[in-house]
Amino acid sequence: MPINDIQTIIETARNRLLEMHFHANCGHIGGNVSCLDAMIILHHRVLNPDDRFILSKGHSAGALYVTLWTLGKMNDADLKTFAQNNTMLPCHPSGSGIFGLLFPTGSLGHGPSLAAGLALAAKHNNVPRHIYCLCSDGEWQEGSCWEALIFSVHHRLNNLTIIIDQNGLQGFGTTKEIISCSDLTPRIEAFGAHVQHADGHNCGEILKSLESKSADKVNILILNTIKGKGLAFENTLESHYLPLTEQEYRTACSINTQRGDL
């Protein structure tokens, strides 16, 4: 599938994501928007049927749901139940009936450990399977992430790719303000992983990096992204918590219409 077609799918998914969050009056949209490009590219261009995906940054469940929608694994009726009572689509992916969901996630920092276990099991069983795990940068303040990294480097889990959505914002401020870290690169490289970078809103860069895997090391892809990109509260703490107002929603849709995306 050409990159231009992927970009069209991303814009369609973005519009559906905005609609879904607006009607649910649900927050956490900033981190959904920042990782949506990578989520779409991974599922449409990279994942093979035997591969596995873990969403560690559970706040971005909406991005996963609309990605599955673009693949025909969910329908509009499913998405209308997002964040409602008795839904199979809660704000963190924890229910049954979600295509490809292996684990409930949302307690941040657990994804890398689960992914490392799957990758090691695949190696032991000689299964040609690649494991992908999407994290936030804020959750790398959890010790479990670093334990998983040490484990993965030691076992040379070259069949594991951990993608980090590095938008620089977390629940109480910027990562630089909270832990004096705006770029995880030097810290992760010090452990011996194969680290790559990409503009998290550039389809070509994301795809090229995902396809450029190390032959003998665990793969880390750091995506430099903008939280709430294109929204009224772009790159602000408000994008982590607040739902879209009607005016903000309509303005975002209007901007996409002007781009020819609707």
Percent of the chain with pLDDT over 70: 96
Q: What local confidence, expressed as pLDDT, does residue 254 receive?
A: 66
Q: What is the mean pLDDT of the chain?
A: 92
pLDDT at 1 over 90: no
pLDDT for position 256:
57
CATH of the domain at 37: 3.40.50.970
Amino acid at 5: D
Whole-number pLDDT of residue 177: 92
pLDDT number for residue 253:
79
Longest dimension (CA), the chain: 54
Does pLDDT of 227 surpass 50? yes
Domain of residue 60 covers 3-258
Model confidence at 241, pLDDT cuts 50, 70, 90, reads confident
Residues 6+ apart with CB under 8 A from 119: 131, 152, 157, 159, 160
Tokens linked to 107: 């307690």
| pLDDT of residue 155 exceeding 60 | yes
Range of lowest pLDDT (70-79, 156-165, 171-180): 171-180
pLDDT at 8 exceeding the cut of 50: yes
Instruction: Give the H/E segment covering residue 201.
Output: none
Mean pLDDT (whole number) for 169-188: 92
Expressed in angstroms, the distance from the first to the final Cα of the chain is 20
User: Is the confidence at residue 260, as pLDDT, over 50?
Assistant: no
Looking at the structure of the chain, the number of domains it has is 1
Burial state string for 62-89 with b = 16 or more CB within 10 A and e = fewer than 16: bbbbbbbbbeeebeeebbebbbeeeebb
